[in-house]
Structure 1
Amino acid sequence: MYYFDHCASTPPHEEVIRTMAEVMAKHYANPSSLHRSGQEAGKLLERARGAIASLFPGTDAKEWIFTSSATESNNIAIMGAARSRKKRGNHLITTVVEHPSVYDTFQALEREGFQVTYLPVDSFGVVAVSDLEAALTDETVLVSVMHVNNEVGAIQPIAEIGKLLKRHRSVLFHVDGVQSVGKLTVDLTGWGIDMFSASAHKVNGPRGVGLLYVRQGVTLEPLLRGGSQEHGLRPGTENVPAIVASAKAFRLAVESGAARAERMYKLKARLIACIQAIPELHINGSTDCKLGSYAAPHILHFSYPGMKPEVIIHMLEKQEIMASTKSACSSKSEEPSRVLLAMQASYESAVSGIRISFGDEHGEAELDWLCRKVRLVVQQLKPLERKG
């Protein structure tokens, strides 16, 4: 089997699995307990928190919160910030291409009475900083823009946005960094980011652990009640084994990030050449394959207009290729991709998108195998296209 769905989840490193098993076997006490076993578990928890902070220069361990997922991190950051600052203003800004855990959260806040501006994107899926600047008002209290789009891999100008918002001190800046950690440089303090979300299972770590950076001085209204864990923002007993293993996964990902990006861009260029040679397919987003571009190194999205994506996915699966369509959270929906429509794609392209996302286990041989199988599947599907 060839697994090309890393944006949905990644295979955990063997070292991460071993760490989680060892901690689970030895440190099963509640880290909030006062006895020795509890205190030992608590020390492991704080050591993991410190390890995370060390990966992001300028941040402090106290600024990092462990959650159950990036979806929860996004909800805590966005809802917590908006509700805590409602007396200062009720205007929020995000983009039309955010992950459902962000986009749907803003829609929920609209139902609470907040005014939300959804910024458009260009044909590559990138937002214009000038549009954001024009949308700012005296009532704006929060801006949330993802770093890397989870469908097409578009990289947003986070550094430029942060520079702009530094001139608007009353506006908080949240970034969904799920698809960027371990692939791109992330400079939380230099970019003026107030809140940042990440997920362990997107960097070869275990499921069930999310990160939320909350800059010191930022106050959030908790979504849940019932405990003082994680500074009261995420009450409930922490999953110490998974958190410790996640810290190791994040370390491995960040420390090798530069080399990974360089290698993946080369592989992506190879894949792009293959897809471009198949006339039935159309690549969505930028085809740049270099550092500094607006395209992530590990994601390629293409459409087969006139063909249902689930048909393509199942045909690829018969060839031992595991890929996906939209985000895993909305992949079962038959609606056209909100992201592709925002990029001015045709309806036919927006309902026929396929996402390829790869990782450390892939090399030229695996990408060449994928290319051969994609060509084969397209040849097999062409008669169905003609019948349609």
Structure 2
Amino acid sequence: MQAGDRVYLDHNATAPVRPEVAEAVARALLDLPGNPSSVHREGRAARAALENARAQVAALLGAAPARVTFTSGGTEGANAVLSGALRRQGAPAPTRLLVGASEHPCVLAGHRFAPEATELLPVDAEGVVDLAHLEARLAALAGESLLISLQAANNETGVLQPLGAVVALARRHGRALVHSDAVQAAGRIPLNFANSGLDAVTVSAHKLAGPKGVGAVALAADVTLDPVFVRGGGQEARLRGGTENLAGIVGAGVAAEIAGRDLAAEAARLTGLREAFEAAVLARAPEAVVAGAGAARLPNTVCLAVPGLEAATALIAFDLGGVAVSSGSACASGKVGRSAVLAAMGVPPALAACALRISFGWTSRESDRDRFLTVFDRLLATLYKRRERAA
């Protein structure tokens, strides 16, 4: 996206809203005055729009519409699923949580399990969960009621987790529940929740070029979730009280439909853009490190570090140069600090302090990459001159 003379390369923080989505939201605000819970004509029209959006989101996820619950976003959904209220029908609630060490803060800080009932699952140097460790822990904890939470794709590095293997291990050792934060994956890689063996996934519309403040939880047919989201009326199958954000949900549905329609072509386009970008960066700075480069990754995400080029300084330079990038998750009140994700991967603190996240999306073009490289070249020139003076 270009606003004036600026380039936006921070789609993992939030994707610019598509014009079709904005139009759908505006129409819903103007044309759907009714409450979806009302029985009159206006209420029925609002209900129809709500259920149509639910079907659109369900189609993107490969889930049953009746098992999709709308939320205020990925954080609320993850908090609810990891509250201890998710359980298999007829089975006790989980008493222990196994969670990936490189998860998003909404998982690491948002669950309600006691510290002594929570275990971090280590990841390797590429950011992929250690399956041997997981299997050993599942075997040791046989007989306990467990919940595993693992991202589909990491928000900072784009690294994909082997969810199929995780589900297989869970079934082999006592059928632990498995939740996946699919906020970054939905609309960027194919998802088929119904066939995945997962018990719950959480997503957020604004990563799909939809409105902010809307998300969803999809549940498997044989699991239940106590109404812990927001207590009140009987909305959202009695799981989340309060009148639904109808205009936002309509926008989420349109965003999901477009993302699903364009997924294969867009993934191929963004993969090409990402690979060309990385090649150009490494040609200029051979010492640069791309986190997770040896693992399967999202098509759009690059986590890049040049030794000695600190992110705090680089971010200011890029911003002044009209390029929006980030240093990691955009959920830390704008602060630039050491990445917990890179720490879990064993990246040395000095190198982690140099990490930048560049995330492409539907607005990204080759000219955006070229604009980044123009600023990058200036930063490298300054860095190399500083090294020469210090030599």
TM superposition score normalised by structure 1: 0.91
- The code of the aligned residue for 2:265 comes to A
Q: CA RMSD in A?
A: 2.3
Q: Which residue of 1 aligns with 2:373?
A: 371
Gaps of 5+ in 2: 1-5
Q: In the alignment, is residue 283 of structure 1 matched against residue 289 of structure 2? A: yes
Distance 1:63 1:367 in 2: 40
Q: Which residue of 2 aligns with 1:141?
A: 146
For the residue of structure 2 that corresponds to 1:262, the secondary structure is helix
Q: In the alignment, is residue 64 of structure 1 matched against residue 49 of structure 2? A: no
Contact 1:163 1:191 in 2 (8 A): no
77, 81, 104: which one aligns with 2:81: 77
- The code of the aligned residue for 1:226 comes to G
Segment drifting more, 119-128 vs 360-369: 360-369
Describe how 1:1-388 pairs up with structure 2 within 5 A. 1-57=6-62, 59-81=63-85, 89-106=94-111, 108-111=112-115, 115-136=117-138, 137=141, 138-168=143-173, 170-223=175-228, 224-279=230-285, 282-287=288-293, 294-330=296-332, 332-382=334-384
Distance 2:127 2:71 in 1: 29
**Number of aligned positions between the proteins:** 380
Cα pair distance change 1:78/1:88, threshold 3 Å:
closer
For the residue of structure 2 that corresponds to 1:102, the secondary structure is helix
Q: Percent identity?
A: 33
For the residue of structure 2 that corresponds to 1:109, the secondary structure is coil
- The code of the aligned residue for 1:69 comes to G
Distance 2:342 2:383 in 1: 23
Cα pair distance change 1:84/1:181, threshold 3 Å:
closer
Contact 1:198 1:211 in 2 (8 A): yes
For the residue of structure 2 that corresponds to 1:231, the secondary structure is coil
- The code of the aligned residue for 1:74 comes to A
For the residue of structure 1 that corresponds to 2:221, the secondary structure is coil
Gaps of 5+ in 1: none
Distance 2:172 2:98 in 1: 16
TM superposition score normalised by structure 2: 0.90
Distance 1:243 1:187 in 2: 21
Residue 155 (structure 1) shift: 0.6
